[in-house]
Structure 1
Amino acid sequence: MENAVRVGVGVILIRDGKILLGERQGAHGENTWATPGGHLEMGESVESCAKREVLEETGLHISALHKVGFTNDIFDRENKHYITLFMAADCPVGEAVIMEPEKCKAWQWFSLDALPKPLFLSMENLLKETNLKSLIS
């Protein structure tokens, strides 16, 4: 399984023209900023995975899910390869809570014009391929 390509799901939470990013720790991409997300489980829909991961990581409930795109992410240093499926969702209420402190240092809302650095590889790849401003009204 070490050399298998894994499927990740990233969720772009949108509120007041900003997106939610967390600073990763304890896994590949440590000290980079990423959307909530995780591994797609056997038999799980992408939408169910998105809702589950957001709730597990932030305590937030999301709505109005729609597909954004995907990235092909090769983490050379960690010898990992992911296909990341990105979903966008509205998140009108609630504050993001650090539900998994071993995996995330902080959650913060960012304008697309003022994203933190460094970004997680899959987020960098998504930004190269997708105009996220079209998602944010």
Structure 2
Amino acid sequence: MTEPPPGTPFPALRVRAQETRTVANVIGVHLYAERDGHALLGLRHPDSPYAPSHHHFLAGHCEQESAIACLIREAQEEAGLVIAADDVEFVHAVHVLDAPGAQPRMQLVFRARAWVGEPRVMGPDKCVSWDWWPVDALPEPTVEYARAAIDGVRHGRLYTEMGWT
């Protein structure tokens, strides 16, 4: 493998073989809300199919909508928060492969600079509580890619890969 040209921000780590089939990536959209050095995380329901009893961002899958429209919709549906599109900025992406052969996921993280309302549990079958946690002392267990994204935001990194080695 040759070295990338100087100034290339993200060198290619792996090139897909010609015979490999195309696999669509699932796109997840996540809210990074921070107040006084504390990040908003929800405790997922123990019966959740993904990450039961783990702390995680307010999040959802991008449907037939833009990523920001998804974030605004999910914030209202999951926590009763009202966010204006002008108050949203992209802060991090995590490209995740949970296991060999699994469907890849691109997790987009957006910061809300402002919102209306206090987080409240809107879907008790999905999330049992919303709490503010110090960004330098996240609760256990926290979903690993959420932890990686918060670390990336705190250190000014825009991108993380997980599970691709």
Q: TM-score, normalised by structure 1?
A: 0.81
Separation (CA, whole Å) in 1 of partners of 2:94 and 2:55:
16
Residue-by-residue CA offset, 1:83-107 (whole Å, 9 max, x unaligned): 1011000345532111011111110
Match of 1:69 in 2: 92
Take 1:99 and 1:133, find their aligned partners in 2: how far apart are those partners? 32
Alignment correspondent of 1:50: 71
The residue number in structure 1 matching 2:63 is 41
How far apart in 1 are the matches of 2:60 and 2:29?
5
**Cα offset, 1:124, TM superposition:** 2.7
Cα distance in 2, alignment partners of residues 126 and 88 from structure 1: 11
- RMSD value over aligned CA atoms? 2.2
Secondary structure of 1:101 counterpart:
coil
Larger Rg, first or second structure (1 or 2): 2
> Within 5 A, what are the aligned runs for 1:1-40?
4-25=24-45, 26-40=48-62
**C-alpha deviation, 1:123, in angstroms:** 0.5
Q: Could you tell me how far apart the structure 2 residues matched to 1:94 and 1:16 are?
A: 16
Higher strand share: 1
> How far apart are residue 133 of structure 1 and its match?
6.3
Structure 1 runs (4+) greater than 4 angstroms displaced: none
Q: Deviations over 1:108-134 (max 9, x none)?
A: 011112211111132133245x14266
Question: For 2:128 and 2:67, how far apart are their aligned partners in 1?
Answer: 25
Distance 2:106 2:115 in 1: 28
Contact 1:60/1:91, CA 8 A, preserved across alignment: no
Post-superposition shift, 1:21? 0.1
Q: Which has the higher helix share?
A: 1
* Uncovered stretches (5+) of structure 1, i.e. residues with no partner: none
Aligned residues: 129
- Amino acid of the residue matched to residue 132 of structure 2? W
**Partner Cα separation in structure 1 for residue 75 and residue 44 of structure 2:** 14
Instruction: Summarize deviations over 1:34-61 as a string: whole Å, max 9, x none.
Output: 110100012x111111111111100011
Q: Does structure 2 conserve the Cα–Cα contact (< 8 Å) formed by 1:60 and 1:94?
A: yes
TM-score, normalisation: structure 2:
0.69
Contact 1:112 1:133 in 2 (8 A): no
Q: Which has the higher contact order (CA 8 A, sep 6+)?
A: 1
**Matched residue, 2:112:** 89
Task: Name the amino acid aligned to 1:58.
Answer: A
